[in-house]
Homo-oligomer: A and B are copies of this chain.
Amino acid sequence: MASQIKDLSKLCIHTQTTKPWDIDACVRNYSMKGIKGITIWRNVLENKNLNGVKALLDDFGMNVVSLARGGFFPSVDAGKRHKAIDDNLLAIEQAAVIGAPMIVLVCGADGGQSLEKSREQIAEGIAKILPAAQKAGIKLAIEPLHPMYAGDRSAINTIRQANEMAEMLHSEFVGVAVDVYHTWWDPDLQAGIQRCGEQKKLFAFHVCDWNVPTTDFLNDRGLMGEGCINIPEIRTWVEDAGFRGFIEVEIFSDKYWAMDQKAYLEKIKQAYLTKT
């Protein structure tokens, strides 16, 4: 039986969850609701002075949980693979300036080659950026993505594959991000969470829900409690594995982006307290 979440102290919102808001609106509104954690998507940093963003975050006492997203390493085109490395190195610099202790990696896939080949390129890519990440003190979290993204977004689709990749790179700076949306169906999920917890590689925990039916490949995620995922059960596994970090709400939803974002933030808060 999952314990009830008692307060907002571990609640983190991804800026993409409230996509209509810019970084200022995110910080002000999250803070006003008593939310102390934020994962910052790189799009909200475009054309921004990063030191100014850092000052804003500090002013409001916001904890930056993660920068989203690095990764997208594989390509049949070597030039694109080099560009991906450069972009990840830039992400590490950005993370350092805004005070993000971690970057979430959507590892990537290229349908023009095998999943095995894409995974090799992911391992190579992470190995190449790891020295810079380590130097900056920034962790890299490998996020397994749902198999429906295996053709174009991630060749890492199970918790076991994420664990294997993280372990192979044997660095305290490389771990795993568990998102219930991507992993809820995985028969190895509980064992895999336990395994990365034991290795101190359980770096992040993302929540939302799987709508039944789901009508869009990207932007039809549900608010916690609306779909078929037993989120409290998975949270219990994560906590039993020793995770004490923020619980990150990451919802892409055309439906919710169309509503008043302050009212939506209140719904998120209630769903976090009662359905997570």
The interface of chain A, by Cβ under 8 A from chain B, is 111-112, 114-115, 146-148, 150-152, 157-158, 160-161, 184-187, 210-215, 217, 227-228, 230
Q: Which of A112, A114, A161, A213 has the most CB of B within 10 A?
A: A213
Q: Whole-angstrom distance between the alpha carbons of A228 and B185 in the complex?
A: 23
CA distance A96 to B185 in the complex (A): 35
* Contacting pair A185 B150 (CB below 8 A): yes
- Min Cβ gap A2→B in Å is 14
Residues of B within 8 A of A211 (CB): 151
The one of B147, B152, B227, B230 in contact with A147, judged by C-beta atoms closer than 8 angstroms, is B147
Knowing A147-B147, A212-B151, say if A114 contacts B230 (CB, 8 Å).
Answer: yes
Residue of B nearest to A158 (CB): B187
Choice from B152, B160, B212, B230 contacting A152 with Cβ under 8 Å: B212
Q: Smallest Cβ distance from A183 to chain B, in angstroms? A: 9
Cβ distance A53 to chain B, nearest Cβ, rounded Å: 32
Given A111-B212, A114-B230; A147-B217 close (CB under 8 Å)? no
A146: chain B residues at CB < 8 Å are 147-148
Which of B161, B187, B214 sits near A148, CB closer than 8 Å? B214
Contact between A160 and B187, CB atoms less than 8 A apart: yes
10 further A-B contacts with Cβ under 8 Å, apart from A111-B228, A115-B185, A217-B217, are A111-B210, A146-B147, A148-B148, A148-B214, A150-B184, A150-B185, A151-B210, A151-B228, A152-B213, A160-B187
A260 CB to closest chain B CB (Å) equals: 28
In the bound complex, CA of A214 to CA of B153 (Å): 12
Residues in B with CB closer than 8 Å to A115 are 185
Inside 8 A of A210's CB, which chain B residues have their CB? 111, 150-151
Name, among A151, A210, A230, the residue most crowded by chain B CB atoms within 10 Å (CB to CB): A151
